Structure 1
C-alpha cells in the first residue's frame, strides 16, 4: 500500500515555518497526540531542529514517516546527492521515508531532476520518492519518465481551490496527491459554511475542511503551535461527512483562492 495512504500517515505534521524551540515544542505535542508522519524540506531551514526533536522524543525510528524535499537550487547533478546527504545528516537518520522534489525546475523540463531523484533512491537515501507542486502535464511526464513509482505529488489542496484537474491526473497516472495549506492558511475560517456544517457533527470548521480533504482521498499535512489545534487537526477520523455536506463544500472550490501564485517564487509553474 502507498505509504501516504497507510492509516497512521493520512495525517502528517508540517513543520514550515517553525524553527528552534517553537518547532521542538510543536513536534513534542504532535507526537503525544499521535502524529507519526513529519514533513520538512531543505528550503525550510529546519531539518536539524526537526531531526533533533524526533531523536530526543524516544519514538522508535520505524514508527516514523519522515519526508523532506530537495531545494530546486540543488537540482544540478553536482549538488543533488550531496544536498540529500546533508539533509540526512541534519535529520540524524540514514534514510528518508519519502524524498520529494520541492518544485518543478525553472523551464519546466522535469526529466533531469527526476533522474537525480531516482539516483538518490538507488543509493538508498530514500525508501520512497515523489514530487511536489507539479501540474497535471508534469505528472503525466513524470509517470512516463520515472522507473520508480512516485508515491505522491504534494500540492496546495483545500476546499477553496478547484483541483479537479490534478485529481484526474492522479487517477490517470497513479501518482496520488497529498495536501499542504490544508485550511488555506486560515482563509477557510472566513466562510461560515464550514462552521455551520461542523456544528451538526460537533466538530470545528477546521476539522470539517480537513475531513473533506481526506474523503477526497488526499492525505494531508497540518501545522500549528497551539496544542489544542494540533490535537483537533488529528482528531478527524471519528466522523464522516454526508454526501450532501461534501457537495456543499465542493461548491466552495469555485472560490478560487490560491496561496501560491505564479511569480511568487521562481519555480512556480502556470497552474492548471
Structure 2
C-alpha cells in the first residue's frame, strides 16, 4: 500500500480555512474522533496554530501524519528550503511526513520546483514528498524529472466532476490521488441521489460521497468544525457501495462542476 495511504489511514483532517480557537477546537475534536492525519499549507497561514494544536494534543510523533505545502511564491532557489524550514519551526516538528508543492508554477515549467522539493526530502525536511493540482501530463512528466517517488497528487475530487483522466494517470505513473473539496463545498447535497443511496446503507449523503471517493482509490481530506460532521466524515470504513450504486454516482461526474479554476487561483493550470 502507498505510504500516504498507510500514514493517513486514507482519511485526513484538513485545516483550511480555520484559524485561532476554531482551528484548535476542531483539531481537538478530530483527534478525539480518531483522526491522526492533519493537512495544512503555507498558503493557509495557520501552520503555527496547527503546530500549537498538535503540541497541545500531545501525540507521540510516530502517531501522527502531518502534511504541509510550499507556496508557489517560494519556488526559487533562495526561498524554497528556508520556507520549508520555517514551516517546520511553526509546526514545532523536525520533519513533516508529507511535503507537497501546492500548485504548479505559472508557466507550468515543473522541473525546477520538483528538483527543489527533492532537495528538501534529501535534507530530511520531509519523510515523503508529493504534489497538488497537477494535470495528468504533469504527473507523467514528474516521474521522469525526479527519482524520489511522489506519494500523492492532491486534487479537487468529488462526484460532480469527472477526473477519469487523472485516475488513469495515477494508475500509469504510480502517483495516487488524494482529494480536496470532497463534498464540493456542499454542492453535492443539492443532488438527492446521495441521500437516496445513503438510506439503503444507513449512512448520510456525505458519507456516501466520501465512500465513493475511497472506492475510486482516492484518499479523502475533509474539514468541519462540528463534532457530528467530523465524526461522520471519519466513519466511512464500515460499508461498501455496490457496483450499481457506484455506477449511478459515476454518472453524476458529467455534471462537470469544478470549484477551483483560474478565476479563483492564478496558479491553476489548464485542467485535463
TM-score class, shorter: over 0.9
Farther off after superposition, 156-165 or 55-64:
55-64
1:221-246 Cα deviation digits (max 9, x unpaired)? 00000000000000000100000100
Partner in structure 1 of residue 114 of structure 2: 114
1:157-197 Cα deviation digits (max 9, x unpaired)? 00000000000000111111000000000000000000000
Summarize the alignment of residues 24-173 of structure 1 with structure 2, pairs less than 5 Å apart: 24-173=24-173
- Deviation at 1:4? 2.0
Structure 2 gap segments, 5+ residues each: none
1:60-93 Cα deviation digits (max 9, x unpaired)? 1110000000000000110000000000000000
Structure 2 CA distance for aligned equivalents of residues 9 and 80 of structure 1: 29
Matched pairs, number: 272
Q: Judging changes above 3 Å, is the alpha-carbon distance between structure 1 residues 160 and 147 closer, same or farther for their aligned structure 2 residues?
A: same
Summarize the alignment of residues 247-258 of structure 1 with structure 2, pairs less than 5 Å apart: 247-258=247-258
Q: Secondary structure at the match of 1:147?
A: coil
1:123-142 Cα deviation digits (max 9, x unpaired)? 00000000000000100110
Structure 2 CA distance for aligned equivalents of residues 39 and 7 of structure 1: 12
Structure 2 CA distance for aligned equivalents of residues 265 and 31 of structure 1: 31
Q: Judging changes above 3 Å, is the alpha-carbon distance between structure 1 residues 52 and 182 closer, same or farther for their aligned structure 2 residues?
A: same
Structure 2 CA distance for aligned equivalents of residues 77 and 203 of structure 1: 49
Structure 1 gap segments, 5+ residues each: none
Query: After TM superposition, what 4+ stretches of structure 1 lie above 2 angstroms from structure 2?
Result: none
- What TM-score, normalized by structure 2, do the two folds share? 0.99
Summarize the alignment of residues 212-227 of structure 1 with structure 2, pairs less than 5 Å apart: 212-227=212-227
Kept in 1, the 8 Å contact 2:183–2:209? The answer is yes
Partner in structure 1 of residue 13 of structure 2: 13
